[in-house]
Amino acid sequence: MSAIKDRDAFASTLGAFAATVGSAVGLGNIWKFPYLTGSNGGAAFVLTYLLAVALVGIPIMVVEHVIGRRMRLNAVHAYERVVPGQKFWSAIGWAGLAAAILIMAFYTDVAGWVFAYVFKSFGAFFMGTKLTPETFGALAGGTWEPLFWQLAVLALTTGIIAAGVSKGIEKVTKTLMPLLFILLIICDIRALTLPGASAGVAYLFKPDLSKITATVLLSALGLAFFKLSLGMGTMTTYGSYLPNATRIVPNATRVALTDTAISLLAGLAIFPAVFAFGGTPAGGPGLLFNTIPLIFSQMPLGGLFTALFFCLTAIATIGAMVSLIEVPVAWAIERGHLKRPVAAALTGAVMFALGILATLSQNPLMANVKVFGKNFFDLFDFVSSNVLLPVGGLAIALVGGWLISKKDFTEEMNKGYATEPWHGRILFAFIKFLAPVLILLILLNSLGVIKLA
């Protein structure tokens, strides 16, 4: 118990739930999910994504929480020690550290745009002006402005981490998440009552199965991992802070459901409006920044709502970024015996160094710098979401389902129950067979080794 106390465990199951939802909910819901849906053909993508969450996402989250809580260690040390005599599984933790840094490199770029938009939208509201696609183009394609915001976002989040796995931020997100939820619903009502909105709803919910291609399968799987912060040790690290009383399976299921609900609500706010205004759903990463101001500007006090919406999106990004920084920081503290603020500052510096590459890749100066045909922003996103996280998830499923003693695993998974709950065996079968087989099939399919779609 003393080790747990030293390690800053979450105080309660509700706190653990809030922090975990805080990690899951972020730009993935409000920015990535809508634009990937738009560029991958709509409802067929949504359906594939929902299946990926249910069949792969929840089982992997359970494994990560089980291993984290069993080991009560950072990701590298947890996987190094979880299978006796097989230290090389620490590779999962190392790949996780790499993924955390790569994701933060582009995540802080986009989060920086969101924070900039908080100020721009308040400015526009008070000056009576409008935010246009040109506003966004100038920001994302600029030099000092996006770098300034990226640095500001990193300073804020590393500051929070430096101060401890802060109860303050948990409380703040707990208060502001419902507000984000309410604003999303207001936005949904507005969007759904626009003339022509039904085309947007059909786009989200009426799948055309012929649109399921290898790219769609891989993107949906990658998004499920990214969305639920899986495959890279974040949920293992948070699992190591879980109270013993928390029932892991219901907690993970609730987190996945909440997160999915928020993604769908974001889609319902954006697509009906896109169709109503005759826009194109395949708007790419700019969808959020170009569409939301447009929708809100149609409502009374729309400028103010735009500002509030970006405010809350900004706050939603904080919980996710904090969890990303915590992965290397937890390792640095436990490995290097570094003080938390020092570990946070070093991690932040590394993230900023790579972040500059991601941010400036949108700048005309670097328009021609490509690696494997992608600019740095897209490369970091692709390598982390579509390679590191699914491969990490596959390894995690193998460790949890095959290499740890089943007795130890199920004992940890079912803690909090007097007898094995009904879902115990089902979940274990998903972990052992279904999740790894699906991940493997999708990876082989995307490599062209087999042909599913």
* Site size for ligand PFF (CB under 6 A): 15
Residue 28 interacting with ligand PFF (CB under 6 A): yes
Task: Name the segment binding ligand PFF (CB under 6 A); options: 84-92, 239-247, 305-313, 316-324.
Answer: 316-324
The residue type at 266: A
Burial of 5 (0-12, 13-18, 19+ CB in 10 A): exposed
Residue 234 interacting with ligand PFF (CB under 6 A): yes
Nearest to 404 by CA among 114, 93, 81: 81
Residue 232 interacting with ligand PFF (CB under 6 A): yes
What residue is closest to ligand PFF based on CB?
28
- Of the residues 27, 44, 311, 318, which one makes contact with ligand PFF according to CB under 6 A: 27
Burial of 209 (0-12, 13-18, 19+ CB in 10 A): exposed
Nearest residue (CB) to ligand PFF, 125 versus 238: 238
Nearest residue (CB) to ligand PFF, 197 versus 439: 439
Alpha helix ranges (H) inside 128-240? 133-140, 144-162, 167-192, 197-205, 214-227, 234-239
Residue 147 interacting with ligand PFF (CB under 6 A): no
Residue 324 interacting with ligand PFF (CB under 6 A): yes
Residue 323 interacting with ligand PFF (CB under 6 A): yes
Nearest residue (CB) to ligand PFF, 124 versus 324: 324
Q: How far is CA 138 from CA 31, 108, 119, 146, 375, in A?
A: 19, 17, 15, 10, 18
The residue type at 279: G
- Sorted by sequence, the CB contacts under 8 Å of residue 278 that are 6+ apart come out as none
Residue 227 interacting with ligand PFF (CB under 6 A): yes
Q: Contact, 85 vs 98, CB < 8 A?
A: no
Nearest to 153 by CA among 107, 97, 220, 216: 107
Q: List binders of ligand PFF among 64-103 (CB under 6 A).
A: 103
Nearest residue (CB) to ligand PFF, 26 versus 200: 26
Minimum CB–partner distance for residue 228 and ligand PFF (Å)? 6
Nearest residue (CB) to ligand PFF, 321 versus 427: 321
Residue 24 interacting with ligand PFF (CB under 6 A): yes
How far is the C-alpha of 400 from the C-alpha of 379, rounded, in Å? 30
Minimum CB–partner distance for residue 103 and ligand PFF (Å)? 6
Residue 347 interacting with ligand PFF (CB under 6 A): no
Chain residues binding ligand PFF by CB under 6 A are 23-24, 26-29, 103, 226-227, 229, 232, 234, 320, 323-324
